[in-house]
Amino acid sequence: MPRGNTPEQRRAKNILGEKWDKENTRQVKFKFNIRTDADIIAHLEAQQNIQGYVKRLIRDDIARSSKG
């Protein structure tokens, strides 16, 4: 019998992934206005890693805030 991912195995893996995500992550959503925030959208889209870029900005801001 060939080995591989059966539909049952894929479903089980997805369930485990969803459980891990629910216990270990939180999604934060926000929207940008394409007219008034076009500069921000363009800058974000130019980043190789948007999530890493945003995290770095926030952590830098936290560090600055805690110094003052």
Contacts of 53 by beta carbon, 8 Å cutoff, 6+ apart: 44, 47
Burial profile 2-26: b = 16 or more Cβ within 10 angstroms, e = fewer: eeeeeeeeeeeeeeeeeeeeeeeee
pLDDT at 5: 86
Chunk the chain into consecutive blocks of 10 residues (it has 68) and report each block's average pLDDT, rounded to whole numbers. 79 92 93 98 97 97 91
pLDDT at 55: 97
pLDDT at 4: 67
Q: Which of 27, 54, 26 is nearest to 40 (CA)?
A: 54
Domain residue spans of the chain: 28-68
